[in-house]
Amino acid sequence: MSEPAPPHRQPAENPRHGRLTARPRTPVAPAPAGLVPLTDADGDPLAMVYAPEPAADGAPYRLVLLLHGAGGSARQGLDLLLPVADAHHLLLVAPQAAASTWDLIAEGFGVDVRRIDGLLANVFDGYPVRDVTVGGFSDGASYALSLGLTNGDLVDTVLAFSPGFAAPLVTHGKPRVFVSHGVDDRVLPIDVCSRRLVPRLHSLGYDVTYEEFPGAHEVPIPVRDKATTWLTTA
């Protein structure tokens, strides 16, 4: 008799603390490669998943949870790293926020934490995963920082493209952090956002790589490529 698959959830925790319980495990029902849109029971968009073809040597994926900006879509989250996913064997998981932006920004951790936790559990059931990153743009970057620092016992790296803040209620572990911000950003001005946030993260002992660029509220291709290199070569 084969050994049972290891537990893929930690003990239940209050989602209002932002804690995720899903954990990588041996897949129980291998899922297909390619682009997979996911919907809820009512047919509403839940997430988009992109899985490169399995590695010839069976190497597991790095899962990257990608969070869209306010008023955005799962597809916009996915597109942040879709052009580089195959080359770097990145399993991309882009959820759709339950409202126009993420729960923490609206009223505190809650519904989106539960949705993301369930989504990750399903993805872990279908794909071999070794490492987990959470990333995002704008409001999604703020949420990625907050969720990533809260769950540093699951997440080892955070990508924050033009964030506004980080507001974890509790922290676990010390994930590495990449932050980028345009010096001409008028949506989330750099002086009151990343130029305050990054020194604060450094003071708390986080390993932060920070990239300022001559641009506005965006993720230029050179910044995306620097973030990808940082993510995949450490």
Residues 6+ apart with CB under 8 A from 204: none
| Residues lower than pLDDT 50 in the chain | 1-7, 11-12
CATH annotation of 15-233: 3.40.50.1820
3-state secondary structure of 141: helix
3-state secondary structure of 212: strand
Please give the angle made by the CA atoms of 101, 102 and 106, to the nearest 5 degrees. 80
The pLDDT of residue 179 is: 98
Instruction: For 11-71, give the secondary structure using H, E and C.
Output: CCCCHHHCCCCECCCCCCCCCCCEEEEEECCCCCEEEEEEECCCCCCCCCEEEEEEECCCC
Please give the angle made by the CA atoms of 76, 114 and 105, to the nearest 5 degrees. 60
Give me the residue spans of the domains in the chain.
15-233
Q: What are the pLDDT digits (tens) for 69-117?
A: 999 999 999 999 999 999 999 999 999 999 999 998 878 899 999 999 9
Q: What is the spatial distance between Cα 162 and Cα 185, in angstroms, rounded to a whole number?
A: 8
pTM: 0.92
Lateral strand order in the sheet of 45-51? 34-39, 45-51, 90-95, 61-67, 129-137, 157-161, 176-182, 208-213
